[in-house]
């Protein structure tokens, strides 16, 4: 009798589950409407890079609402809780991963920075002063003289103890960067001088129209005292930025509080930032991050695919979504970086074979529901009028498994190869790529690691044969997006790529003053990447960045990123909470 009851009980449990599984099908049939793609050439009065489609309900640009338009409405106080990734350390001189960048952007200041905010152009980088209140450029374009804001104080923490920032700090920081991964920014700088307490003079070897933009990306001004005490900047961050780092708990997050001595004021003369506190949460698991948003533990959420964003909007209608613009013009981590200094990827045929073995159209249809962005790390928008489509990426980007196998055979691998891959960034398309490569005889032994480990291994070159591409954002100019990664001496050339032709082109674009000729060189650099393939790029999702409607002044920027990645301090300095 007991057994019969157990059978009935089990059947009673299984049946509803089965019905749900099949019934989910019926639910899907009564589907949510698929958001429409609409080609737009401008949003909010700003001209967009050509050919970018906007998605109804998930716009690239959201203009300021009525409260955001007037600084008199801004409220002070409150705590902003956001999500981001876990840094391996805090030193922007060692890695320009957004995890490291985020902390630096909250705590430090730069000489100049990009304009950001709801009223700003979402795709143009317009440089404004940060620590520098003004600057002059000599008529020959070689000398830059910056005048610093006076009375800017470091955060009142030992060993810096709230002293005033001076031009010597700027000079010292920049000299430090010459032997870091930021070295390429300063390769063309002949001299950095601090003639008086508030003046910095930089003399270039050659004129460079992008020099200010390159300084505005990630050249944070850091105090010497930290390096004297700790030997590096890995553990401590004390700057002149809007927030003080109260606590960093690896794998969990950071806690910040308003810098009470922050020098910047808004247009009405009010002290900034407006927030009392900001807490960053590290929640790698997407489901857990979504649960944290729904339970209001955090105020922001990301949704890689439109369906997820629609579901979140359904359950949390006070969510505002903005389409992730930064992937539209430039790739970031959505590429496969090859170790080109040794077998098997020292042979371009093998690199091309891998690229041709990836069915990018199926990837986007399957993973992203067709909503994707495709670019290389070097943005096309610097020199092209319209966004290139997949077909414009040339023969080695078109799915052709037959040709791929042929190339492998020609390269001496008729029976296929086994490659070792270690990364974190490519975890979403990983299974799909592994399956696709298996079809052309490439066994991809991918090992997933966490984000800090990926950063560490990649910067050391200890990632096996291939890994995910890295961190083209936040270069603010073509040179920053190309030279460090592709030049044989580039500090971010993690693939050990060495092509004399590429080196020559990269050096030429740095010094070319004629814009038309420079664009022609950029095009050649682009084309060489497509054929010689130091990396192969994979479409990324038109993901969406969402936040609660009471969070004001929060926006992504198409080049500079978002709170999640790359513009944390720049954004959070102006964020206020309408509650």
List residues near another protein by CB under 8 A.
3, 7, 10, 14, 17-18, 20-22, 24-26, 28-29, 285-287, 290, 307-308, 311, 359, 362, 364-367, 369-370, 427-428, 430-432, 434-436, 438-439, 448
For another protein, which is the closer residue by CB, 21 or 268? 21
**Least distance between another protein and beta carbon 344 (Å):** 21
**Least distance between another protein and beta carbon 471 (Å):** 22
**Least distance between another protein and beta carbon 5 (Å):** 12
For another protein, which is the closer residue by CB, 311 or 420? 311
What's the gap between Cα 185 and its chain centre? 18
For another protein, which is the closer residue by CB, 364 or 571? 364
For another protein, which is the closer residue by CB, 168 or 439? 439
For another protein, which is the closer residue by CB, 145 or 286? 286
> What token pair was written down for 566?
């790359």
Q: What residues pair up with 337 in beta bridges, in sequence order? A: 467, 535
Q: If residue 290 lies in a helix (H) or strand (E), which one and from where to where?
A: helix 286-294
Q: If residue 98 lies in a helix (H) or strand (E), which one and from where to where?
A: helix 98-107
**Rg, Å, the chain Cα set:** 25
Burial class, 401, CB count within 10 angstroms (exposed 0-12 / middle 13-18 / buried 19+): middle
Q: Could you report how far apart the first and last alpha carbons of the chain are, in Å? A: 61
For another protein, which is the closer residue by CB, 287 or 415? 287
For another protein, which is the closer residue by CB, 24 or 77? 24
**Least distance between another protein and beta carbon 312 (Å):** 10
Contact 565/100 with Cβ under 8 angstroms?
no
- Give the pairing of strands 127-129 and 143-148: unpaired
Kindly compute the dihedral angle of the four CA atoms of residues 427, 103, 558, 219, in this order, to the nearest 10 degrees. -120
For another protein, which is the closer residue by CB, 129 or 369? 369
Contact 109/130 with Cβ under 8 angstroms?
yes
**Least distance between another protein and beta carbon 144 (Å):** 47
Task: Classify 438 as helix, strand or coil.
Answer: helix
**Least distance between another protein and beta carbon 37 (Å):** 14
**Least distance between another protein and beta carbon 431 (Å):** 4
DSSP code per residue over 450-505: -HHHHHHHHHHT-SBTEEE----TT--SHHHHHHHHHSTT-TT-TT----HHHHHH
**Least distance between another protein and beta carbon 35 (Å):** 15
For another protein, which is the closer residue by CB, 19 or 126? 19
**Least distance between another protein and beta carbon 98 (Å):** 20
> What token pair was written down for 464?
């096996």
459-463's contacts with Cβ under 8 Å and 24+ in sequence apart are 459/94, 459/95, 459/181, 459/494, 461/339, 461/494, 461/496, 462/422, 463/339, 463/421, 463/422, 463/423, 463/494
Question: With the C-alpha atoms ordered 328, 333, 334, 335, is the resulting torsion angle positive or negative?
Answer: positive
**Least distance between another protein and beta carbon 388 (Å):** 22
CA distances from 9 to 23, 357, 507 (A): 21, 50, 74
For another protein, which is the closer residue by CB, 32 or 190? 32
> What token pair was written down for 158?
């030992």
């Amino acid at each position: 009798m007991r057994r019969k009851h157990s059978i009935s009980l089990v059947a009673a449990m299984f049946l509803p589950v089965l019905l749900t599984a099949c019934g989910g099908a019926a639910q899907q049939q009564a589907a949510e409407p698929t958001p429409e793609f609409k080609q737009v050439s401008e949003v909010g009065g700003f001209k967009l890079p050509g050919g970018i489609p906007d998605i109804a309900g998930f716009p690239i640009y959201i203009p300021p609402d009525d409260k955001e338009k007037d600084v008199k409405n801004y409220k002070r106080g409150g705590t902003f809780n956001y999500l981001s990734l876990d840094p391996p350390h805090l030193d922007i001189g060692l890695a320009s991963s957004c995890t490291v960048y985020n902390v630096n952007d909250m705590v430090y200041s730069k000489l100049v920075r990009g304009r950001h905010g709801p009223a700003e152009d979402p795709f143009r980088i317009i440089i404004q002063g940060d620590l520098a209140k003004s600057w002059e450029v000599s008529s020959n374009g070689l000398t830059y003289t910056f005048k610093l804001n006076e009375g800017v104080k470091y955060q009142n923490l030992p060993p810096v103890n709230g002293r005033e920032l001076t031009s010597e700090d700027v000079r010292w920081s920049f000299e430090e960067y010459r032997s870091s991964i930021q070295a390429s920014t300063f390769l063309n700088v002949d001299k950095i001088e601090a003639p008086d307490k508030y003046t910095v003079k930089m003399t270039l070897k050659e004129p460079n129209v992008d020099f200010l933009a390159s300084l505005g990306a990630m050249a944070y001004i850091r105090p010497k005292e930290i390096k004297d005490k700790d030997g590096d900047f890995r553990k401590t961050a004390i700057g002149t930025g809007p927030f003080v780092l109260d606590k960093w708990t690896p794998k969990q997050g950071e806690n910040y509080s308003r810098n009470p001595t922050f020098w910047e004021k808004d247009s009405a003369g009010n002290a900034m930032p407006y927030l009392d506190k900001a807490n960053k949460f590290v929640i790698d698991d997407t489901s857990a991050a979504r649960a944290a948003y729904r339970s209001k533990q955090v105020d922001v959420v990301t949704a890689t695919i439109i369906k997820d964003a629609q579901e979140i909007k359904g359950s949390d209608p006070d969510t505002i979504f903005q389409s992730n613009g930064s992937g539209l013009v430039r790739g970031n981590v959505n590429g496969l970086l090859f170790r080109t200094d040794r077998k098997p990827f020292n042979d371009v045929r093998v690199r091309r074979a891998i690229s041709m073995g990836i069915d990018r159209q199926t990837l986007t249809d399957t993973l992203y529901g067709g909503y994707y962005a495709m670019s290389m790390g070097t943005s096309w928008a610097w020199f092209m009028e319209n966004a290139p489509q997949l077909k414009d990426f040339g023969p080695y980007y078109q799915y052709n498994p037959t040709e791929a196998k042929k190339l492998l055979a020609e390269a001496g691998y008729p029976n296929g190869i086994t490659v070792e891959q270690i990364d974190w960034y490519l975890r979403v398309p990983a299974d799909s790529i592994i399956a696709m490569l298996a079809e052309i005889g490439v066994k991809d032994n991918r090992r997933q690691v966490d984000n800090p480990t990926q950063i560490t291994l990649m910067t050391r070159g200890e990632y096996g044969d291939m890994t995910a591409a890295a961190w083209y954002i936040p270069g603010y100019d073509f040179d920053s997006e190309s030279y460090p990664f592709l030049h044989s001496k580039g500090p971010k050339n993690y693939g050990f790529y060495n092509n004399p032709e590429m080196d020559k082109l990269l050096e030429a674009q740095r010094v070319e003053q004629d814009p038309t000729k420079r664009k022609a060189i950029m095009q050649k650099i682009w084309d060489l990447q497509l054929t010689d393939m130091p990396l192969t790029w994979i479409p990324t999702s038109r993901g969406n960045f969402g936040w609660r409607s009471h969070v004001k002044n929060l926006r992504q920027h198409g080049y500079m990123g978002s709170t999640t990645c790359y513009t944390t301090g720049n954004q959070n300095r102006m964020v206020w909470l309408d509650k």
